[in-house]
């Protein structure tokens, strides 16, 4: 462990080092990097050039940490009925990172189901258990701190060339079952090849999908890929995410599927039932950045649950056998944490969002 000339200890993870190097590549000609981040990058580069370790302790530490000044209650209740013992995987717990912090949570599996928890190779929290014959109630409830800043507050418009991508990111440039980018090369270059590579191209893809692919409720199917959606011309949020990801990957832009909770903070409540929402992230400027072809407008308070190549890695449940989903409820709304606790009845009269103005109660 070493200190900088300012007497501060820098604590970085290996992925942070990759991010810093990618950021250096993206911004090495900009005066922004005359500051502390630039000093950190230079120190890493000097250490590598001289054949010795960089002066940083390897441990997780976020590079950017906006103030988490809002509280959002999120969760779901799922009821499955089955006649036989049925293994199941669950993914409904949000990730912990610099943009979202779980302040309180409660998980319950009835009737007294025994569950184990593990982290998959995409960093998602997964619960594994076996449903029993009869009625099984699976419930998650949490209060999560988020920032009141819009998610586009620090977008970086600098794609990283494939040969400079961290090894863990390269995999998100390849075609998958639902994001069949190999079938969309000609279409993508004809439609978006004229756009500048980077943010303008990603936004152009979102604009085209938002305007040309109709959002049609209950039209989703587990058999449709991105290519199929372009041919069909309509789909649900999952389909739009898959198609946007596939189109980004045709240009060697790493893109990944995301499932999450999206409260209506700063937006009028549409009056429709809550659901899990699918969107995507693109790796540019050394970090993952959020895009959403379904809404096609930056949001506030979006809470990520899981990420992966496509929806296969982010399903809220994966069943290894037969079971019927007989009840499904999702909630995601801003609250005053002094008035609402986990385990309370879901009471939308205490919702602070669903209007154009953002309300800022004290976060305790």
Are 174 and 48 in a shared domain?
no
Give residue 63's pLDDT. Answer: 52
CATH of the domain at 364: 3.10.620.30
The H or E element containing residue 106 is strand 100-110
Closest CA to 258 of 331, 205, 179, 313: 313
Query: Per the domain annotation, does 161 fall within a domain?
Result: yes
Query: Per the domain annotation, does 87 fall within a domain?
Result: yes
Give residue 66's pLDDT. Answer: 85
Are 70 and 16 in a shared domain?
no
Give residue 54's pLDDT. Answer: 37
Are 22 and 97 in a shared domain?
no
Give residue 361's pLDDT. Answer: 79
Distance CA 9, CA 148 (A): 29
Q: Give average pLDDT by consecutive 10-residue segment, the chain, 364 residues.
A: 36 46 46 45 41 34 72 98 97 93 96 95 97 98 96 91 95 98 97 97 98 94 96 97 98 98 94 93 95 96 97 97 97 96 94 92 62
What is the pTM (predicted TM-score) of this model?
A: 0.82
Are 54 and 106 in a shared domain?
no
Distance CA 339, CA 196 (A): 48
Are 28 and 172 in a shared domain?
no
Query: Per the domain annotation, does 362 fall within a domain?
Result: yes
Are 105 and 42 in a shared domain?
no
Q: Count the domains in the chain.
A: 2
Are 238 and 100 in a shared domain?
yes
Query: Per the domain annotation, does 276 fall within a domain?
Result: yes
How is residue 265 written in tokens?
């903070």
Contact 2, 11 (CB under 8 A): no
Give residue 364's pLDDT. Answer: 54
Alpha-helical segments (H) within the chain: 14-27, 36-49, 167-170, 185-192, 199-212, 226-232, 237-250
Are 232 and 352 in a shared domain?
yes
For residue 360, the enclosing domain spans 64-364
């Amino acid at each position: 462990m070493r200190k900088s000339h300012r007497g501060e200890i820098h604590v970085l993870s290996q992925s942070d080092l990759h991010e810093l190097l990618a950021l250096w590549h993206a911004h090495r000609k900009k005066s922004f990097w005359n500051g502390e981040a630039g000093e950190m990058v230079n120190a890493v580069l000097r250490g590598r050039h001289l054949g010795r370790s960089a002066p940083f302790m390897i441990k997780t530490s976020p590079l950017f940490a906006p103030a988490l000044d809002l509280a959002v209650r999120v969760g779901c209740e799922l009821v499955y009925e089955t006649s036989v013992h049925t293994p199941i995987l669950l993914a409904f717990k949000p990730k912990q990172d610099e943009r979202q912090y779980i302040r309180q949570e409660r998980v319950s599996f009835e009737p007294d189901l025994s569950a184990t928890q593990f982290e998959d190779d995409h960093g998602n929290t997964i619960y594994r258990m076996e449903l029993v014959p009869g009625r099984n109630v699976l419930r998650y409830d949490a209060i999560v701190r988020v920032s009141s800043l819009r998610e586009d507050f620090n977008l970086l418009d600098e794609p990283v060339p494939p040969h400079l991508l961290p090894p863990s990111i390269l995999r998100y440039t390849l075609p998958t079952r639902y994001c069949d980018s190999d079938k969309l090369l000609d279409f993508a270059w004809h439609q978006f090849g004229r756009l500048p590579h980077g943010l303008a191209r990603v936004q152009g893809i979102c604009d085209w999908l938002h305007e040309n692919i109709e959002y049609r409720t209950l039209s989703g199917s587990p058999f449709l890929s991105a290519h199929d959606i372009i041919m069909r011309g309509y789909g649900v949020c999952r389909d739009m995410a898959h198609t946007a990801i596939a189109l980004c990957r045709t240009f060697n832009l790493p893109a990944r599927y995301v499932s999450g909770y999206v409260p209506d903070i700063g937006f009028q409540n549409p009056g429709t039932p809550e659901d899990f929402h699918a969107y995507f992230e693109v790796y540019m400027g050394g970090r993952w950045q959020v895009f959403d072809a379904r809404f096609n407008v930056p949001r506030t308070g979006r809470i990520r649950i899981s990420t992966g190549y496509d929806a296969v890695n982010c399903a809220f449940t994966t069943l290894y056998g037969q079971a019927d989903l007989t009840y499904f409820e999702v909630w995601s709304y801003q609250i005053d944490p002094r008035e609402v606790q986990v385990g309370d009845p879901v009471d939308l009269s205490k919702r602070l969002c669903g209007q154009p103005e953002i309300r800022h109660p004290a976060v305790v």
